[in-house]
């Protein structure tokens, strides 16, 4: 079978650091083109300033990976789907839940694949964590997701604008893990969002959820942490405590600790190829729905101005 010809749209840090190596390492794909308004190009690969330019004048492609900010992703995805292309959405899959639902319906009507990617679900410890939790009674969950925004998102003003999610940009990674590994659905009961006085999106958030059994789930998000970063999930069960740390890369179970190689983006592209081969889509919007609920129900608290 010929490789899937994929174009990467949006040539920022995540495209260079993760997408391009994952595509190069998967024989199911070949990098056919790049698209960006910047001059960030790849040697020997055709480059276009817009997706429309690529579609009008470029080589044939079978799929696009959209790595742009979420606020502009819907129109790009709709254009690609309308042309019969498979679409890989970097996380979060859109600026609103309704956008993702509309794209999923369009992909279904066109008979092409829409993949809402959640890279943290492919961290090494996540699949064994899900298997270990199956059938166990969960009594509580605590998530601490704290990092330094100046390290991970320097100068990225879009992330502070409406639709950019603020601290939920990393926080949604934790939500993507716990919506995947916990056996029961859960929902928000209360939230406090700390919003800098000069920004539109929160820099920190304290959230409480519960599932239908009443199990409490607490999440502490903060973008002001310096020094060591905290990406930790603890799940209390009748069989002991499960700990996921380093964003899901390390799993500690009672009596053992598992650590494997980082396979997040290679895993995403393996999944994308599988979906295309099967003629299916995977557009799970549950993590984004929970973020939307936090904005809907959360109390906004003004905090000190933030300057990058």
Instruction: Count CB atoms within 10 A of the CB of residue 200.
Output: 12
* Catalytic position from the list 13, 83, 91, 130: 91
What does the buried/exposed string (b/e) look like for 273-293 if buried means 16 or more CB atoms within 10 Å of the residue's CB?
Answer: bebbeeeebebbbbbbbbbbb
Which residues have CB under 8 Å from 5's CB, separation 6+?
A: 29, 30, 32, 59, 60, 61, 62, 63
Per the annotation, the verdict on 91 as an active-site residue is yes
Q: Are 237 and 137 in contact (CB under 8 A)?
A: yes
Q: Are 201 and 166 in contact (CB under 8 A)?
A: yes
Determine if residue 7 is left, alpha or beta; phi over 0 gives left, psi from -120 to 50 gives alpha, anything else beta.
beta
Which residues have CB under 8 Å from 44's CB, separation 6+?
A: none
Active-site residues, by number, are 91
């Amino acid at each position: 079978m010929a490789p899937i010809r994929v174009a990467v749209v949006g040539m920022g840090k995540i495209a260079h650091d993760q997408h391009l190596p994952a595509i190069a390492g998967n024989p199911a794909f070949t990098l056919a083109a790049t698209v960006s308004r910047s001059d960030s190009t790849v040697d020997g690969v055709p480059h276009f300033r817009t997706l429309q330019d690529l579609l009008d004048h470029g080589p044939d492609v079978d799929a696009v990976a959209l790595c742009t900010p979420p606020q502009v992703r819907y129109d790009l995805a709709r254009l690609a789907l309308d042309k019969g292309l498979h679409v890989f959405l970097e996380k979060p899959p859109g600026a609103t839940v309704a956008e993702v639902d509309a794209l999923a319906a369009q992909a279904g009507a066109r008979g092409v694949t829409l993949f809402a990617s959640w890279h943290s679900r492919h961290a090494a410890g996540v699949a064994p964590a899900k298997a270990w939790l199956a059938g166990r009674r969960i009594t509580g969950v605590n998530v601490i997701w704290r990092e330094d925004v100046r390290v991970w998102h320097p100068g990225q003003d879009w992330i502070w604008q409406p639709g950019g999610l603020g601290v939920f940009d990393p926080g949604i990674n934790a939500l993507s893990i716990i919506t995947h590994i916990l056996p029961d659905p859960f929902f928000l009961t209360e939230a406090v969002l700390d919003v800098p006085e000069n920004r539109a999106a929160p820099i920190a958030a304290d959230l409480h959820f519960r599932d239908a059994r009443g199990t409490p789930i607490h999440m502490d998000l903060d973008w002001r942490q310096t020094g060591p970063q905290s990406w930790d999930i603890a799940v209390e069960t009748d069989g002991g405590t499960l700990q996921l740390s380093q964003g899901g890369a390390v799993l500690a179970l009672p009596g053992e600790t598992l650590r494997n190689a980082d396979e997040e983006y290679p895993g995403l592209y393996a999944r994308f190829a599988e979906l295309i081969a099967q003629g299916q889509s995977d557009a799970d919007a549950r993590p984004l729905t929970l973020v939307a609920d936090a904005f809907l129900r959360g109390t906004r608290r003004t905090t000190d101005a933030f300057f990058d």
